Amino acid sequence: MRRWVYAIILFAFSASVGFAQPRAYFTEPSLSPDRKEIAFVSGGDIWTVPATGGVAALLVSHPANEARPLYSPDGRYLAFVSSRTGSGDIYLLTLATGDLKRLTFDDGLDQLDGWSRDGRWIYFSSTSRDIGGLNDLYRVSVNGGTPMTVSADRYTNEFFCAPSPDGKTLAFAARGIASGQWWRKGHSHIDESEIWLLRSFEDGAGTYERVTVPGGAKEMWPMWNADGRNLFYVSDRIDSGNKNGAQNIWSATPGRSDARRLSTFTEGRVLWPSISYDGREIVFEHNFAIWKLDTASGKASEIAITRRGASAGPAVERQRLSDQISEMQLSPDGKKVAFVVRGFAHVCRVVYESDRQNAKKGAGAICSSPLLPPRRSPARAHSAKGDEVRSVELHRSRL
C-alpha cells in the first residue's frame, strides 16, 4: 500500500540553556599607552574598561571570535585578531573613527604579538608556512601589503614575539607546542619552551641567543622593559617559594643569570600578559579575571570589572534547510530516510502522518518537532514498500 509520509527532522547542535548564572570570563588584556584604559576580551568580543576597574563598554562586537587587542604606541589604533575571515586574521581598528582594516589573509591562525615602537609594524606568529602547526614569526606594515618573514626555522616552533623598544632585537618563545597548548595548567615536556632573542634581524644577518635555561619549565610571552635591557615573561618554573610550579611573571636580563620570579602566585595560571609601553605595569589573565602587576614592586592585584553591553556572540544560529536537500533515499522498511544537505549525508527517523496526529492528541511523544508545520520539498523518495516521503522539515541549530 502506498502511504504518504512526512519526515520531520531536528538537528540540535546547540548547547542547552542552563539556569545557573555563569561567571563572566575576562582575558587577553592590554593597557593603553597612557595606562588609563584596558582593552580585553570577554565572550569573544572586545571591551574596554578604566585601568582602575569599573564598568566595561563594548568596543568590537561580532558573531566571530575577536581576540588579543593591542593598542598602538600612539594610542590611535587597536590591532586584534578576528576569526570572521577564517582561522584568525589581524585587523586594525582606528579608534577615533571606527574604520576597520584587515591586514593578514592566511588560512592559518595569525596570532597578533605586538607593535613596533615606531608604530609602523605589527608582529605576529603564524602556522601558515611551517609544518604540523608550528609557527614562524612575521611582521606586516600597518599600511598593509605582504607580510615579511622575520624568523622561520623549519620544524621549530617560534611564537609570541616582542620587538625591543629600539626595534633591533626580537624576543620570542621557542620550541614545544605551548603556542597551541598555552591553556594547560602545569606542563609536559612537549609544552616546555624557552625565551630566545633574534638580534639584528633588519639586515638579514640575525643571530640567535637563548635567554632562559632550557628544560623544566614552560616559559613564554616575553615582554621588554622600557629601556630594552631586561625582559619579563611567564614561567611555571619551580622554585623554593613556588613548589607547585604555578605560573608567574618572571624577569631576566639577556646575558646574565639573574632570572627571578616577580609575582607570588602559588596556584592558577598567568595567561596573555601585556606590558605597558613605559614598562611600569603588566596586565594579564589569572583565574579568568584581569590582573595588574607593578613591575617595580612585583605586587599584583585583580581589577574588578562589570560588563555593560550585549555581546554579539557566541549565539545560536537557526537555519531552515528544507529546500536544500539534494538527494534523498528512504530505507526499505520505510523507517529511516537518508539525504544530502550541503554535501553532508544524514540519516534520520521518519515520522508518519498517523504518528503526528497521535502526537497532537498527546498519545505519545515522537520527537521534539512534530508540531512544526511540514514544508513541501521538491525532493521525493520511495521505500521498497511504496512509501513516499513528500516533504522534509529540516531545522538545524548551532553555536
Given the complex with Ca ion, which of 70 and 392 has the nearer CB atom? 70
Report in angstroms how near the CB of residue 130 gets to Ca ion at its nearest. 4
Backbone CA torsion sign across 61, 114, 118, 139: negative
What's the rounded Cα separation, in Å, for the pair 32 and 369? 51
Report in angstroms how near the CB of residue 193 gets to Ca ion at its nearest. 13
Report in angstroms how near the CB of residue 155 gets to Ca ion at its nearest. 7
Given the complex with Ca ion, which of 64 and 213 has the nearer CB atom? 64
Given the complex with Ca ion, which of 179 and 383 has the nearer CB atom? 179
Grid cell, residue 134, equals 608550528
> Which residue in 29, 44, 165, 273 binds Ca ion (CB under 5 A)?
44
> Which residue in 32, 47, 49, 66 binds Ca ion (CB under 5 A)?
66
What is the x/- site pattern for Ca ion, positions 294-333, by CB under 5 A? Answer: -------------------x--------------------
Angle at 48 between CA 45 and CA 51, to 5 degrees: 140
Exposure string for 199-236, b = 16+ CB within 10 A, e = fewer: eebeeeeeeeeebbeeeebbbbbbbbbeebebbbbbbb
Q: Which residue intervals of 232-391 are DSSP H helices? A: 353-361
CB of 104 closer than 8 Å to CB of 147? yes
> Which residue in 10, 24, 58, 62 binds Ca ion (CB under 5 A)?
62
Q: Which residue is nearest to Ca ion (CB)?
A: 44
Q: Assess 89 for contact with Ca ion (CB under 5 A).
A: no
CA-based max dimension of the chain = 88
Given the complex with Ca ion, which of 106 and 158 has the nearer CB atom? 158
Place of cell 606594515: 141
Q: Which residue intervals of the chain are DSSP H helices? A: 353-361
CB of 23 closer than 8 Å to CB of 288? yes
Query: By CB under 5 A, which span of 9-17, 43-51, 85-93, 236-244 interacts with Ca ion?
Result: 43-51
Given the complex with Ca ion, which of 126 and 230 has the nearer CB atom? 126
Place of cell 539534494: 326
Report in angstroms how near the CB of residue 229 gets to Ca ion at its nearest. 27
Given the complex with Ca ion, which of 28 and 66 has the nearer CB atom? 66
Angle at 178 between CA 172 and CA 182, to 5 degrees: 105
What's the rounded Cα separation, in Å, for the pair 378 and 327? 10
Given the complex with Ca ion, which of 312 and 321 has the nearer CB atom? 312
Q: Assess 45 for contact with Ca ion (CB under 5 A).
A: yes
Grid cell, residue 198, equals 633574534
- Within 123-142, the residues that bind Ca ion by CB under 5 A are 130, 136
Report in angstroms how near the CB of residue 82 gets to Ca ion at its nearest. 7
Report in angstroms how near the CB of residue 88 gets to Ca ion at its nearest. 12
- Within 144-163, the residues that bind Ca ion by CB under 5 A are 153, 156, 158
What's the rounded Cα separation, in Å, for the pair 174 and 193? 6
Please choose, from the candidates 358, 363, 392, 357, the residue with its C-alpha nearest in 3D space to the C-alpha of residue 378. Answer: 392
DSSP run (H or E) holding 365: none
Q: How many residues bind Ca ion (CB under 5 A)?
A: 10
Instruction: Report which DSSP code applies to 304.
Output: P
Report in angstroms how near the CB of residue 196 gets to Ca ion at its nearest. 12
- Within 199-228, the residues that bind Ca ion by CB under 5 A are none
What's the rounded Cα separation, in Å, for the pair 302 and 294? 12
Given the complex with Ca ion, which of 9 and 161 has the nearer CB atom? 161
Angle at 14 between CA 83 and CA 307, to 5 degrees: 60
Question: Hey, how many other C-beta atoms are within 10 angstroms of the C-beta on 148?
Answer: 11
How are beta strands 45-50 and 54-60 bridged, if at all? antiparallel
Report in angstroms how near the CB of residue 318 gets to Ca ion at its nearest. 19
Given the complex with Ca ion, which of 37 and 153 has the nearer CB atom? 153
Query: By CB under 5 A, which span of 56-64, 119-127, 202-210, 328-336 interacts with Ca ion?
Result: 56-64
Given the complex with Ca ion, which of 150 and 290 has the nearer CB atom? 150
Q: Which residues bind Ca ion (CB under 5 A)?
A: 44-45, 62, 66, 130, 136, 153, 156, 158, 313
